[in-house]
Structures are given as C-alpha cells and as structure tokens.
Chains A and B, each alone.
Chain A
Amino acid sequence: MTQTLSADTRVPIRVPKTLIIWIIISALLVQASLLWIALKTPADVNLGIVQKIFYFHVGSAFAMMLGLTAASVMSLIDLIRPSDSADALARSFLEVGVVFAFCVLTSGPLWARKSWGMYWTWEPRLTLVLLVTLLAVAVLILRMLAKDSTIGRRVGAAMAVMGAPASYLIHFAVKWWGGNHPQVIQGGGIQNSEMRVAFWLAVVAILSSAAVLVATRYRAIRLQQRTQALALRLSARVLRRQRAPMETS
C-alpha cells in the first residue's frame, strides 16, 4: 500500500506579497514618526527633551496591552475549540506582547529618572506593567517548556486565560495601593498639536509594526506545525513500507 503525499503539505516558502507591502508600510510609518518626533515636536516645557520617550513608550504600552489581551482571548478560543491556528496565534501574540512589555519596562525607568529623579517608583502603572510582564514571561516559559505536547499546550493556554482576570484585578490593587504616594508630575502631557500628531503617528506605527511581528511569527509557527505534520506523514509512510514485505511473506 503506497500513499502519495499531496503537494498541499509543502508550504510555499516565499513571503506573501501583502505581508511585504505591510512590512514596508510599517517601516515607513516608524521612520516618519521618528522623524516627526525628532524634528517637529518641541521639547516639553517641564521635562525637556526626555519627554520625547513618551511617544514610543505609550505606543509600546498599547501594543503590550493589546498583544497580551489577544493572547488570552486566543488561548481561550484554543481551549474551547482546539485548533493549530488558534494556538499559533496565541503564541505569537504572547511573544510580541512580551517584547513590547520589555520595551515599556526599559523606556519607563529611563524617563522616570529625569522626570521623577529616580529610575523606579512604585507608581501604580509601573507596578502593574511589572507584574503583568512577570506573569506573561512565566506563561511564555511554561509554553516553551511544554514543547509540543498536547497537555503542555493546554496548560499554557489555561494559564494565559487565568492571566487576563488576574491582570485586571492587579490593576485595581496597585492603583489603590499606590494611592498614598504623592502623584508626581503627570508627565508627558500633550501640549500642542505637533505633539498630538507625533503621539498618534507613533501609536499607529508601533501597532502596525507589532501586527507585522505577530503575522511573521504566526507564519513561522504555522510553517513549523506543517513541517511536523509532514514529518508525521513521512513516518507513517516509512512504517507502512517496512511492513509491506512482512505482509507478503
């Protein structure tokens, strides 16, 4: 019995055109927003030039929030109706979310050094980002440890789902907890229209790049999954071939 492998398992390796166009657009957006921030926006009256961190810092925070929320939602979908694509999406969102979480965590203290005079304060939003990042990294490690076992995948997904309500409650806890602290300068206020344009340009540019990263990672994971499926079919074929002489004899 010989089974022919259909061509559909061989994934085209070239990157789809739409993705390339999208990558170029995001790159241009990022360049445009950087140029705008550098050339057009004035320095903040209170904080000086360091305020220019604000644009990408907040953009990264948006990307992180959206990424991690999407990761939880996709994990939930994967638990309710398991599918390889939901799993791949959940993993890509989680990874990209963690990357931007680190961006927020590193740019935040640098900004704080200037505006608050120290790298770290237990300001509610900083604390929230730190805790959520720790949680997301733990889930990421869990998913990496689990490799491709079904149980591991489900456990990772379940933990990602747990992370969403936990983060929501952490948000309240740290807000009330930090309530006693003096609210230092509400830094990075938008003072004029150039700043507003810079802000939205940066947000759009980062979200677009984040989406590109998710799409690229998603494609990579899908390719990996299909490679595994192909290896499995090959193994089936080899096993059947080994049997053939045994059956005839």
Chain B
Amino acid sequence: MNTLRLTWLLLRKDMQVTARSKELVGVTLMFAVLCVLVFSFGFLQSGAAAIRYVPGVLWVTLLFTSSVSLLRLFAPEEEGGTLALVSMTTSGSAPLFWSKVCLQLLFSALVCALIVPLVLLFFDARLSNVGTVVAALGLGLIGQAVVGTLCAALLAQVRLKEVMLPLILYPMLAPLLIAGVKVTALSVTGVESPALSNWLSLMMVFDLIFMVVSPWLYGRATQP
C-alpha cells in the first residue's frame, strides 16, 4: 500500500517533469513517425502487397522508439543527483523502479496511439479483431517497459550505455517482438487461428516472469 502511494508520488513527479520538457515527448513522437516513414521507403514497392509489412513496421517502430525514450528515462535523477536520495527515503528501490516502468508505459502508449492509426492509414490496412491486437500491444508494451527499465537503470553506470542498451535489449525482447508481429499479422490478414491464444499466453508469461525478476534484480544490483 505504501509502495503504491510512493510509486504514485514519484510517477506524478515524473509526469510533471516530462510535461515541462515538452521537447522530449515531441522529439520521441517525431522519431516514431520517421521510423514508419523510413520503413515504408525501405519495404514498399509498387504492386507489392503492402499489408504484409504492417506488423513488422509497427512492432519494430515501437521497439526502436522505446529504446530512444529509455535512454532518457533516468535523466531527471542523474541531472539532479537524486537517485540515492530517493531510494534512501522510500525504503528501497521498488517505488522508483515501478514509477519508471509506469512512465515508460505511458510514453509508449502515447507513441502507440499515434503510430497504429498512422501505419494502418499509410498501408491501407484494416484490423479484423481489434481486441486481440490491443491485448497484444498492451502485453508487449508492458514487457518492453519492465525489461527496458531494468536495462536502462542498470546500464546507466556502464560505459557506452547508448550502444549497450539495444545490444542487450533487442535479443531479450525477441519473444515479445515475434509474438506481437504474429498476432498482428493474423489480425491484419483476418485469419482466425488457434495459435492466437498461444502467442498471447507467451507474452503473458514473459510479462509475469520479468515483473517478478526485474525489480528484485534492480534492488540487488544497485545495493551499495
């Protein structure tokens, strides 16, 4: 209960800070749009079925954009030197960790809200079962946020963190990416498949495992 309250306080603070540096949100959204554009140039040829590329473009854009915002996730703490201070007043690192996960989740939800309609529009695609895709996006973004926050937090103290973050993050998130692309592909092409629930449960298991493992590892690895 107390952790929940502290998490909320920190999240509210982060939202305030983010709202004041509007540039960051704008730049990240801009990056996402450009990603979609670049992929379109890369994949689209006249006459080819554009619809095949929708899932890939969507999920890879989300992955790339999340790694951009992850690199800035702990910037307010690093600039002001409040990292140790916060974890020493909130009886551990859990509230800080979860507030950052929520912030990252809000961020990627925002990106998602912009990118999904854009991709569907650009590629003239239609989703057959919206609910499943939303569920897949939700599960995928939660997993990305949890694992990404842990990696961003831990790599903050390592040299070359800008390079190391994708290096570690992308292979680790491969199951989410594969599952997300599959679910979206099935939905875009309108094929009803029993595999759908398999993929969703894989994503769910991924999220559950890392929601338990990540905060524990974060606490362990950042102890004095």
Contacts and interface: CB of A to CB of B under 8 A. Distances in A.
Contacts of A134: 171
B121 interface: no
B159 A145 contact: yes
A139 B168 contact: yes
Contacts of A174: 174, 178
B158 A161 contact: no
Contacts of B155: 142, 155
Interface residues of A, number: 32
Interface string A18-33: 0000000000000000
Contacts of A141: 164, 167
Nearest to B160: A145
- The bracket for how many chain B residues form the interface is 35 or more
A138 B168 contact: yes
Interface stretch (A108-116, A146-154, A194-202): A146-154
Interface in B49-77: none
Nearest to A165: B209
A173 interface: yes
Contact of A142 (B164, B209, B210, B223): B164
Nearest to B214: A162
Contact of A155 (B158, B198, B199): B158
Given A138-B164, A158-B221, A165-B209, A173 B171 contact: no
A157 B221 contact: yes
Given A165-B210, A165-B213, A131 B221 contact: no
A169 B171 contact: no
A206 interface: no
Contacts of B209: 165, 169
B157 A131 contact: no
A120 interface: no
A51 B88 CA distance: 60
Contacts of A98: none
A146 B202 CA distance: 33
A165 B182 CA distance: 21
Interface in B177-203: 178-179, 182, 195, 198-199, 202
Nearest to B223: A154
B195 A176 contact: yes
A174 B182 CA distance: 11
B133 interface: no
A119 interface: no
A146 B218 CA distance: 17
Given A155-B155, A159-B154, A169 B220 contact: no
Nearest to A137: B167
A145 B158 contact: yes
B39 interface: no
Give the residue among B174, B182, B195, B217 with the most A Cβ atoms within 10 A: B174
B202 A169 contact: yes
9 contacts: A132-B171, A138-B164, A145-B159, A145-B160, A152-B158, A155-B157, A158-B220, A158-B221, A162-B217
Given A170-B171, A172-B202, 9 more contacts: A139-B168, A145-B159, A145-B160, A155-B221, A158-B218, A165-B213, A169-B206, A170-B174, A173-B175
Interface of B: 147, 150-151, 154-155, 157-160, 164, 167-168, 171-172, 174-175, 178-179, 182, 195, 198-199, 202, 205-206, 209-210, 213-214, 217-218, 220-223
Closest 8 CB pairs of A and B: A173-B175, A135-B171, A154-B221, A169-B175, A158-B221, A138-B167, A173-B178, A158-B217
Interface of A: 79-80, 131-132, 134-135, 138-139, 141-142, 145-146, 151-152, 154-155, 157-159, 161-163, 165-166, 169-170, 172-174, 176-177, 179
